[in-house]
Structure 1
Amino acid sequence: MKIIIFGATGMVGSRLVKQALHMGHQVRAFGRNVFTADLPENDNLELIQGALFDEKEVFTAIKGCDAVLSALGGAPNGLDVTRSLGMKNIVTQMQKAGVKRIVGLGGLGVLNAEDDTFLLDAPDYPAQYIPVGKEHLKAYEFLKASSLDWTFVCSPDIIDAEVTGTYVTNADYAPVPNAYKINVGDLALFMLTELEKNEYVKHRVGISN
């Protein structure tokens, strides 16, 4: 499979690159700093330096791929619109390029609460996570309104740790049991596995170790 990864130099994105190559995929890594990041040398890896908000650059990078992985990050203060407007541009250019499949990364707050409101809107949701949660919500809304075959992984705290292969997932709601954390290695493994298995198309996904 030919995959393009946005946010390829971050903690999650760099794991996606390495695991995708290990699985034998052809990988395009897109970002501003891909040539200075610690990405592996591999004949199946193409580095594409580009700007996330540039329509032409993103379209060109997506064209010819089978699927997209988005691990966009940014500041948590709500002023950084990388997650929302970056996703908007990715969705727009995917539709122009005729690429249908995307697995994107969001946050726990975009999952449903028991009353089917967002966890983000619960009175006891941690205030420090609300600004970035709203950015994730906007990104999800762009996906939901699109014609794409999307999956939006709503992760809890991401731990910089290796793959265990042991984690739980759930569609649209937090998983049970929920440890409110996920190893970055397991998160990347799930995102790549979902690309192939398509178990959660047009769903958000709760995940936990």
Structure 2
Amino acid sequence: MKLAIFGATGLCGKNLVEVSVNEGYEVKALVRNPAKLDDIKHEKLQVVKSDIFDVDFVAKELEGCDAILSCLGAVPTWRWKTELLYSTSIKAITDAARKAGVKRVICLTGARQVPDPQKREWWLIRWFDWAIMRPIMDDMIRMESHLKDNCQDLDYTVLRPTGFCKTEPWTGEAVVIPDIYFTPEDSGWIPYKKVVLMMLEALKENKWVHGHIYCSMPNGFDKVTK
């Protein structure tokens, strides 16, 4: 199976590339700066310099791929700024996917896009979301709305991870709940690699098609070692 991966130079994306090639997938990483993947050498990895918004070019590169996995994401900013990476990139990806005849798309947004109406988040998290994360979360909502309203012809899956962390090894199974943004019981953190494994699980088992899936880890998972 051949995968096209976007956002391959970030922490989550690099994990996805490494796990995918080690599991035997052919990987085509479409990136702005190929030099950022110079530290990953594998016979099943092809790195292509590309502009994600050049739909015709990307569509040509997607030909022959079985699925698209995207770890694209934006850095936090202040609430008076506007973020559009999520919504514009998913439109470009899905337009290119249709041109190339690729139906399976798995991508990431994030938890807490909509504040908990019961205000059960820690006050500092609520402030951080209001002051720093709001532009990103608003654009995640636009991204998910585009998929839900315009992409029912594609077999898409959206994972909504909580805060990323590098903890490894870890114990415990992920908290996986469709169609929510927050639960007060979990840790609020999930390892990069666990999210990568969930993306590949969605692919291999054809799970969560047209699903918007909250994912985190049980409270205290990062305090336990194997």
TM-score normalised by the shorter chain: which range applies?
Answer: 0.7 to 0.9
Q: Which whole-Å CA distance do the structure 2 matches of 1:66 and 1:82 have between them? A: 24
Cα-to-partner distance string for 1:74-121 (whole Å, 9 max, x where unaligned): 2323534222101110011111111100110001134xxxxxxxx248
Partner of 1:140: 144
Cα pair 2:69 2:105 within 8 Å, conserved: yes
Partner of 1:116: none
User: Following TM superposition, by how much is the alpha carbon of 1:179 offset from its aligned partner in structure 2, in angstroms?
Assistant: 1.4
Partner of 1:81: 84
> Identity rate of aligned residues, in percent?
29
Cα pair 1:168 1:176 within 8 Å, conserved: no
Cα pair 1:163 1:189 within 8 Å, conserved: no
User: Following TM superposition, by how much is the alpha carbon of 1:122 offset from its aligned partner in structure 2, in angstroms?
Assistant: 4.4
User: Following TM superposition, by how much is the alpha carbon of 1:175 offset from its aligned partner in structure 2, in angstroms?
Assistant: 6.1
Q: Which whole-Å CA distance do the structure 2 matches of 1:39 and 1:5 have between them? A: 17
Q: Which whole-Å CA distance do the structure 2 matches of 1:196 and 1:176 have between them? A: 30
Matched, 1:155 2:158: no
TM-score (norm 2): 0.82
Partner of 1:93: 96
Partner of 1:190: 198
Cα pair 2:201 2:207 within 8 Å, conserved: no
User: Following TM superposition, by how much is the alpha carbon of 1:34 offset from its aligned partner in structure 2, in angstroms?
Assistant: 2.1
Aligned residues: 201
Q: Which whole-Å CA distance do the structure 2 matches of 1:175 and 1:169 have between them? A: 11
State how 1:163-178 maps to structure 2 within 5 Å. Answer: 164=170, 166-173=173-180, 174=182, 177-178=185-186
Bigger Cα displacement from structure 2, 145-154 vs 125-134: 125-134
The CA RMSD over aligned residues, in Å, is: 2.0
Cα-to-partner distance string for 1:128-171 (whole Å, 9 max, x where unaligned): 32210011111112221211101000111011233537322111
Partner of 1:207: 215
User: Following TM superposition, by how much is the alpha carbon of 1:32 offset from its aligned partner in structure 2, in angstroms?
Assistant: 0.7
Q: Which whole-Å CA distance do the structure 2 matches of 1:123 and 1:167 have between them? A: 23
User: Following TM superposition, by how much is the alpha carbon of 1:177 offset from its aligned partner in structure 2, in angstroms?
Assistant: 4.2
Cα pair 1:68 1:103 within 8 Å, conserved: yes
CA 1:80–1:61: 2 relative to 1, 3 Å: farther
